[in-house]
Structure 1
């Protein structure tokens, strides 16, 4: 496997992850009350707890994107 192939793979992986992250964030922003109410009923939580959990999930997902997709792509670009 060449560096060009790996670079293309991690580049497209980053684009895919950032697209999914952006779509998730926009949908959760637009449908926040509905999502919080649905998950609150499903799991017996307060809607405020659900919103906090979603916020933490988005933050964790962003860190995962940087560590597993964007970081390797940047490293390959520097080689």
Structure 2
């Protein structure tokens, strides 16, 4: 495995994970009621707690994407 292959790997990981982050954010913005109703069937939590959980999940996922995808990709671009 050379640096070019690792760079390509992290580039595609970043693209896929940013796409998932964008999809999740758009679903929570435009389909919040649908998402709450679907999850309320399984977990009986109030709407306010659901909003806190969703926003926390999106924030944590964004941090993971930055730390585990974007930073290694940029580091590989710098040393390439």
- Using the size of structure 2 for normalisation, the TM-score is 0.91
**Runs of 4+ deviating beyond 3 Å:** none
Distance 1:39 1:49 in 2: 12
How far apart are 1:39 and its partner, in Å? 1.9
The residue aligned with 1:27 is 27
Instruction: Compute the displacement of 1:57 (Å).
Output: 0.1
Distance in 1, Cα, partners of 2:69 & 2:3: 15
Report if the CA contact (8 A) 1:17-1:65 is conserved.
Answer: yes
* Equivalent runs, 1:1-79 vs 2, <5 Å: 1-79=1-79
CA distance in 2, matches of 1:42, 1:6: 40
For structure 1, the residue ranges without an aligned partner over 5 or more in a row are none
Structure 2 stretches lacking a partner, 5+ long: none
TM-score relative to the length of structure 1: 0.93
Higher relative contact order (CA 8 A, sep 6+): 2
Alpha-carbon shift at residue 37 of structure 1 (Å): 3.0
- RMSD of the TM alignment (CA)? 1.0
